[in-house]
Structure 1
Amino acid sequence: MPMPATALQEQLITAVRQNDAAAITRLLAEGADANAPDGRGFTPLVLAAYDDHLEATRALLAGGADPNRPVGGGNTVLMGVAFKGHTGMAQLLLDHGAELNARNGEGSTALMFAVLFGRHEFLDLLLAAGADATLRDNKGQSARDLARQKGNDHALTVLPE
């Protein structure tokens, strides 16, 4: 008898939190949804990436998780890992089609998050990948403007004028 969808999803979230790629792969094959949000609105991919669970993230991406699906406020997974500063995770997401210049509801990008939170390696990675530093948020501010406000000297050094 097949397991109810809610039980599959709960098991998937548990496997994600445990970074258990084998269980994730099995649960996705049994019908769990790699893109279904939990009760707080977070997808399994957001949870895995935010906790820097590389194996879980790989399994979810292989199982059809969408790296560009927005969650609360329109933030993408890449924006979430920019907040945390997980550069290895960012590279994995970019390698699987994460939109480099995606914007949230405020018009902010992952590059802007990296500047705001002082994630220098993350900022360098995004710039090397071709992030558009000229984009402006809904308040008209660029990543460079945000760097000035935050006193982020590294960002001011590497962001184009």
Structure 2
Amino acid sequence: MPFIASIGAAVHAAPLHAAAEKNDAAGIARLLAEGAAIDERDGSGATPLLVATHANRVEAAKVLIDAGADVNALDKIHDSPYLYAGARGHLDILKMTLSHGADLKSLNRYGGTALIPAAERGHVETVRTLIAAGVDVNHVNRLGWTALLEAIILGSGGQRHQDIVDALVKGGADVNLADGQGVTPLQHARSRHYDRIEAILVAAGAR
């Protein structure tokens, strides 16, 4: 096998990472009992728990989290199990990270909380879960956007994003917090003809 083709395969070569990727809960328990390092890093800086989170391997994640895996361990691109689960809407794993010390103030490589990409991608229950957990609904990322702005600017305007805007507003989002160019959420909604979102914002006092 040419060297360049073997690089990707080597990323998860460690047995614990491989077991996590395969959702092999029994194998993970055995490896940990044999002394495997629970937060060992692979070539990308990912721990076994992050590997399990990438693939939404709930059983593997549960075994690792229950055994004390670090839910806030960041890889080389600033993803952690908590941040990734939130961004991708992996709700079961997200809830486990929240009950095992997730750092609600931790930020991804864009300077955003887990709530911001969850809102953008339309993960309604994830957004509700993160709001209930206490994530700052008005945090501004490096693009100058809040979760509310991303839900409008990068969302579809459909039912999921309408529900997310509603949840954010009810959760205390500042409906008049503008982006870096001074454009408000209401102005963004109107420019995209998102009538239902516009109505939610206006009812909440948006200008």
| TM-score bracket, shorter-length normalisation | 0.7 to 0.9
Equivalent runs, 1:140-151 vs 2, <5 Å: 140-151=182-193
* Structure 1 gap segments, 5+ residues each: none
The aligned amino acid for 2:39 is A
1:53 corresponds in structure 2 to 90
**8 Å contact from structure 1 (residues 16, 48) kept in 2:** yes
Decide which moves more: 54-63 or 149-158.
149-158
**Which residue is 1:17 aligned to?**
54
> Structure 2 unaligned runs (5+)?
1-34
Distance of 2:100 and 2:38 partners within structure 1? 19
Q: Which residue of 2 aligns with 1:6?
A: 40
8 Å CA contact 2:138–2:147 kept in 1: the answer is yes
> What is the TM-score of this pair, normalised by structure 2?
0.69
Question: What is the correspondence of 1:65-104 to structure 2 with a 5 Å cutoff?
Answer: 65-104=102-141
Shift of residue 129, structure 1, vs aligned partner: 1.7
| Residue-by-residue CA offset, 1:38-92 (whole Å, 9 max, x unaligned) | 2332121222123322110111111111233111221211111111111111111
CA distance in 1, matches of 2:36, 2:48: 14
Larger radius of gyration: 2
- Matching residue's letter, 1:144: L
> Contact 1:20 / 1:55 at 8 angstroms: preserved in 2?
no
Partner amino acid, structure 2, of 1:87: V
1:110 aligns with 2:147: yes
Pick one of 11, 35, 44 that aligns with 2:72. Answer: 35
Cα shift at 1:28: 3.6
Residue 107 (structure 1) shift: 2.5
How far does the alpha carbon of each residue in 1:74-129 deviate from its partner, in whole angstroms, 9 at most, with x for none?
12111111111111111111111111111112321101111111211111111122
Contact 1:21 1:59 in 2 (8 A): no
Contact 2:39 2:48 in 1 (8 A): no
| Percentage of matched positions with identical amino acids | 29
Tell me the amino acid that sits aligned with residue 62 of structure 1. Answer: S
8 Å contact kept, 2:86–2:126 = yes
Q: Which amino acid aligns with 2:185?
A: A
Query: Is residue 107–residue 138 contact of structure 1 (8 Å, CA) maintained in 2?
Result: yes
What is the aligned length? 161
Aligned partner of residue 74 in structure 1, secondary structure: coil
Which residue of structure 2 aligns with residue 130 of structure 1? 172
**Equivalent in the alignment of 1:139:** 181
